[in-house]
């Protein structure tokens, strides 16, 4: 069974640009959540999607957005990139209900210069 | 909002010594989960605790969930170099988002 797949794995963007990251969950998993990981802030919850609907949202500005498609694949977008957005962005999938184990992808390393 | 505090931030031990990391939530949790992230890797699920006062063991790892369901601990007996990594707790309120602690980075000197 394939794990959570994230693309791209590494990317470099310039301040002011926007970026889209993609996540394919484990087959059969309907919930996808996104986290930002930085050395100083640890793992910060961005948002969670279930059946194409945002179920929970973290405390990030509106520049961070996401969506989920009918096949459970998810994308997150960051507009008007800032230097502080440089981080590892992790996607995690789970079966459905709150309390299920979440499985992380390997992440997308974003560097903003 | 819900906060999960984890201490210590770093722990350096000699191989064979024990290690403990503690997690404390500002609110009562529905469940708490523990993850391990190896250097350069992604977090990997270790265990989930649901019941008040629950204790679970995985070989040399012992996980506890407090009676009030607001705190938890992970204890490793006789650490090995393979235990190196960052250990995260993650607390979840009923129906809520999973909130991660800051993590404890464990280094083991052979």
Residue B30 and residue A33: Cβ atoms within 8 Å?
A: no
> Which residue among B42, B95, B99 sits closest to A104, beta carbon to beta carbon?
B42
Judging contacts by C-beta atoms under 8 Å, the chain A residues touching residue B45 are 101-103
Contacts of B94 in chain A (CB under 8 A): 98
pLDDT at A1 over 80: no
Find the closest chain B residue to A109 by CA distance. B40
Instruction: Look at residue B46 and tell me whether its pLDDT is greater than 90.
Output: yes
Q: How many CA atoms, within 13 angstroms, populate the side-chain half-sphere of residue A52? A: 3
Could you tell me if B10 lies within 8 Å of chain A, comparing CB atoms? no
What mean pLDDT do residues A13-29 have? 97
> B70: alpha, beta or left, given left = phi > 0 and alpha = psi -120 to 50?
alpha
CB atoms within 10 A of CB A84: 10
Distance from CA of B31 to the nearest CA of A (A): 7
Shortest Cα–Cα distance, B34 to chain A (Å): 10
Cβ-contact B32, B49 below 8 angstroms? yes
pLDDT tens, A66-113?
999 999 999 999 999 999 999 999 999 998 766 678 899 999 999 999
Q: Quote the tokens at residue A35.
A: 């986290």
For the cut 80, the answer to whether the pLDDT of residue B10 exceeds it is yes
Q: Side-chain half-sphere of B37: how many Cα atoms within 13 Å?
A: 27
Q: Which residues of B touch A104 (CB under 8 A)?
A: 35, 42-44
Q: b/e per residue, A16-34, with b = 16+ CB within 10 A? A: eeebebebbbbeebbbbbb
Q: Which residue of A has its CA nearest to B90?
A: A43
| Alpha carbon distance A22, A3 (integer Å) | 14
Q: Of A71, A65, A78, which Cα lies nearest the Cα of A93?
A: A71
pLDDT digits (tens, 9 = 90+) for B69-103: 999 999 999 999 999 999 999 998 877 788 899 99
Task: Spell out the alpha helix ranges (H) of chain B.
Answer: none
> CB distance B96–A106 less than 8 Å?
no
Query: Could you tell me which chain B residue has the CA closest to the CA of A48?
Result: B97
Contact between chains at B30 and A99 (C-beta distance less than 8 A): yes
Between the alpha carbon of residue A69 and those of residues A12, A18, A26, B23, the distances in Å are 26, 20, 14, 35
pLDDT of residue B103: 95
* B100: nearest CB among A43, A57, A101: A43
The pLDDT of residue B22: 98
Strands B31-37 and B85-92: antiparallel
> Inter-chain contact B96–A101, Cβ cutoff 8 Å?
no
How many residues make up chain B in this entry?
A: 110
Question: In Å, how far are B12, B31, B47 from B110, measured between CA atoms?
Answer: 11, 35, 27
């Amino acid at each position: 069974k394939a794990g959570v797949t994230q693309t791209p794995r590494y990317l470099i963007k310039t301040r002011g640009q926007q970026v889209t990251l993609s996540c394919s969950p484990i087959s059969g998993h309907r919930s996808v959540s996104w986290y930002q990981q930085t050395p100083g802030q640890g793992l910060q919850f961005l948002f969670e999607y279930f059946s194409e609907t945002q179920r929970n949202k973290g405390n990030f500005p509106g520049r961070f957005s996401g969506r989920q498609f009918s096949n459970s694949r998810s994308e997150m977008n960051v507009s008007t990139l800032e230097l502080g957005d440089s981080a590892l962005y992790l996607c995690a999938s789970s079966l459905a209900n709150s309390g299920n184990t979440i499985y992380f992808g390997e992440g997308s390393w974003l560097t903003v210069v | 909002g819900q906060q999960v505090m984890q201490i210590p931030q770093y722990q350096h031990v000699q191989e064979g010594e024990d290690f403990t990391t503690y997690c404390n939530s500002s609110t009562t949790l529905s469940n708490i989960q523990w993850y391990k992230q190896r250097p350069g890797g992604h977090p990997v699920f270790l265990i989930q605790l649901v019941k008040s006062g629950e204790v679970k063991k995985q070989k040399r790892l012992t996980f506890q969930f407090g009676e009030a369901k607001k705190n938890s601990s992970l204890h490793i007996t006789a650490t090995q170099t393979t235990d190196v990594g960052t250990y995260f707790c993650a607390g979840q309120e009923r129906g809520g988002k999973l909130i991660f602690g800051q993590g404890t980075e464990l280094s083991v000197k052979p």
